[in-house]
Structure 1
């Protein structure tokens, strides 16, 4: 089911950007795995119709999201809460503009570059909340967080959960604690949960807007794009329970934010209604891949990988505080995502969302180089 796919001549950024440097790509966060057959078939059928005009979200599309949230998270949502968007990145940028009030926006670090950049791009001040390894888990300092939330000019917290690049999932207890603090200090909580359907070990994911304490001052961002490998279609959705917040969001988006691609909406509906078995098989495949990465990386001197609950991304740490890893991975012939763009120049992020043959090829290149380097 998850065999090797040749992506040549598909204009794939992941494979095109570094091909002239002969670097094996294990960087940008899309998978080298074929999307589920039901999605492929639905897209082929639709593309056989020769008119590709405008399309607005339709009732069964919204219903597919409602049913998915009920099944996956035991979360009952109203279809009216759903706002379809052309992507999660424009969505949290919009959140900064609508709810940030040109003030302070909290964002955890390390984090993936678009989220780190969003507050400043929208004229706000970015306030970094360090996430560190404590008590056998990735976590922030709660006192530091409360101090920042209590600042009179703080209006928004951009959360990434599951975390990118760590892959950690906040516990239900921590999500409820965060929700209560945001409610107490009247800070809007906007949560990027694009990887929430890629939890590999059964850990419970709690969408922020499902929590009563924060429901009316929250935005939950989701998509089928990462899980079902359809990111190129530019389609996501925001779940905004509060009608006033939703109107403000839609009013600011009007005229500047395009509607999602109709193919992306079609792919999302099929993903959420017809691809449950594929989804389960994917999680098993990725869990096995994650173990392969850990088995290799943790046997190489100076490298450390702490497998987490979610995503197809591995945050690989340098245990030598003077040795950035990216130049060495590149010398090995592998292109990772460089840690400097995530807020930590020592580490790298490695994408293991691929077939076993390709993964083993990349890991063998890293291992061979490291053994020779030693």
Structure 2
């Protein structure tokens, strides 16, 4: 089911950017795996109608999200809490513009570039909160988090959960701590959960808006785009329970934020209503890919990979400061996402959302290069 797919001629940015450089692209976070047939069929059927005009969300689309949240997260939401958006990135930029009041925006690091850049782009200040490896997991520094929330110019905590790039998932206890601090210091949460449907291990993802105390002070951002590989269709949604906050959000986006692509909404409804079996098989495939990277990278001296429960992204750490790990992946014939853009220049992110044979070839190329050149000794 998850074999190789030739993306030549599709203008795929992942493949076009470095075309002709003989590099296996394992960087930007879209998968080289075919979307479910139910989505292909739904898009094909709609494309046969010859008018592609303005299209607003419809009841069965909203109900598919309501049902999915109940099925996957035991989260009972109302259909009118859903605000359809053209993407998660414009959504958290809108959150910075609307809620940060030009002040300090808390963001954990490492994190993917658009989230690190959003506060400044909307006239605020990014305050980074490094996560640390502690007790066999990535942990927030709770002392630092409280100190930053207590700052009078802090109004917004932008959370990425599951975390990109490291794939960690915050526990219910973690989120309860965040809830208590946000209530104490009057800080709102905007939670980017675009990878929440990519949980590879038997752990439970808890949406921010489902946590006691966060219901009225949070915006939960989700999409079908990463999980079902439809990111190019420009569609996501914000779940906002608080009616005043939702009204403010909708007023701020009016005539500023474009409607989501109607084909993206069609894909989302098909994904959430007709693709559960495919989704289950995808998770199994990605877990096998993750475990393959674990077995190959962690036998190489000078490198550490800590497999995490979520996403199709692997955060590879160098044990040698200043090693320029990105350069070595490129020399080996792989294009990673460069760690410097995530706030940690010594590390690299690999996208393992591909077929098994391609990933095997990529790991063999890198292992051969690393063992032959022994860059950790230089």
- TM-score with structure 1 length normalisation? 0.99
Alignment-derived partner of residue 223 in structure 1: 223
Does the 8 A contact of 2:176 with 2:212 survive in 1? no
Looking at structure 2, the residues matched to 87 and 62 of structure 1 have their Cα atoms a distance apart, in angstroms, of 16
SS of residue in 1 equivalent to 2:341: helix
Residues 1:187 and 2:183 are matched in the alignment: no
Shift of 1:11: 0.5
1:25-67 Cα shifts (integer Å, max 9, x gaps): 0000000000000000111111011111110000000000000
* Residue aligning to 1:81: 81
- In structure 2, C-alpha distance between the alignment counterparts of 1:167 and 1:39, rounded to whole Å: 26
8 Å CA contact 2:286–2:353 kept in 1: the answer is: yes
CA distance in 2, matches of 1:264, 1:271: 10
Provide the C-alpha distance between the structure 2 equivalents of 1:183 and 1:268, rounded to a whole number of angstroms. 33
SS in 1 for 2:49: coil
Deviation digits for residues 120-143 of structure 1 (CA, Å, limit 9, x no counterpart): 000001100011111211112101
Please state whether the residue corresponding to 1:147 is helix, strand or coil.
helix
| 1:346 equivalenced with 2:337 (yes/no) | no
Question: What CA distance in whole angstroms lies between the structure 2 residues aligned with 1:26 and 1:338?
Answer: 11
- Tell me how far apart the structure 2 counterparts of residues 2 and 136 of structure 1 sit (CA, whole Å): 31
| Alignment-derived partner of residue 112 in structure 1 | 112
Q: Write the deviation string for residues 265-310 of structure 1: whole angstroms up to 9, x where unpaired.
A: 0000000000000000000000000000011111111111000000
Unaligned runs of 5+ in 2: none
Aligned pairs, number: 374
Q: Distance in 2 between matches of 1:341 and 1:102?
A: 23
Within 2, Cα distance between the matches of 1:212 and 1:302? 43
Corresponding residue for residue 236 of structure 1: 236
Aligned match of 2:67: 67
CA distance in 2, matches of 1:245, 1:61: 22
Distance 1:365 1:183 in 2: 50
Look up the match of 1:264: 264
Residue in structure 1 matched with residue 171 of structure 2 by the alignment: 171
Kindly indicate whether residue 155 of structure 2 is the aligned counterpart of residue 137 of structure 1.
no
> Could you say which residue in structure 2 is the equivalent of 1:126?
126
Quote the Cα distance in structure 1 between the aligned partners of 2:310 and 2:265.
24
**Cα distance in 1 between the residues matched to 2:314 and 2:60:** 36
Partners of 1:183 and 1:231 in 2: how far apart? 34
Alpha-carbon offset, residue 311 of structure 1: 0.3
Q: For 1:9-24, list aligned pairs within 5 A.
A: 9-24=9-24
Q: Tell me the secondary structure at the aligned position of residue 215 of structure 1.
A: coil
Within 5 A, what are the aligned runs for 1:237-256? Answer: 237-256=237-256
In 2, Cα distance between the equivalents of 1:81 and 1:141? 32
CA distance in 2, matches of 1:179, 1:229: 32
CA–CA distance in structure 2, aligned partners of residues 24 and 308 of structure 1: 23
C-alpha deviation, 1:212, in angstroms: 2.5
Question: 1: CA distance between counterparts of 2:143 and 2:304?
Answer: 28
Q: TM-score, normalised by structure 2?
A: 0.98
Question: What is residue 336 of structure 1 aligned with on the other side?
Answer: 336
Unaligned 5+ runs, structure 1: none
Q: Quote the residue 1:148 is aligned against.
A: 148
State the Cα distance separating 1:352 from its structure 2 match.
0.3
Match of 2:311 in 1: 311
Which secondary structure state, in structure 1, belongs to the residue aligned with residue 216 of structure 2?
A: helix
Note the C-alpha offset of 1:21. 1.8
Q: CA deviation at 1:244?
A: 0.7
1:20 deviates by 2.4
Provide the rounded CA distance (Å) in 1 between the counterparts of 2:132 and 2:324. Answer: 18
Which whole-Å CA distance do the structure 2 matches of 1:358 and 1:251 have between them? 46
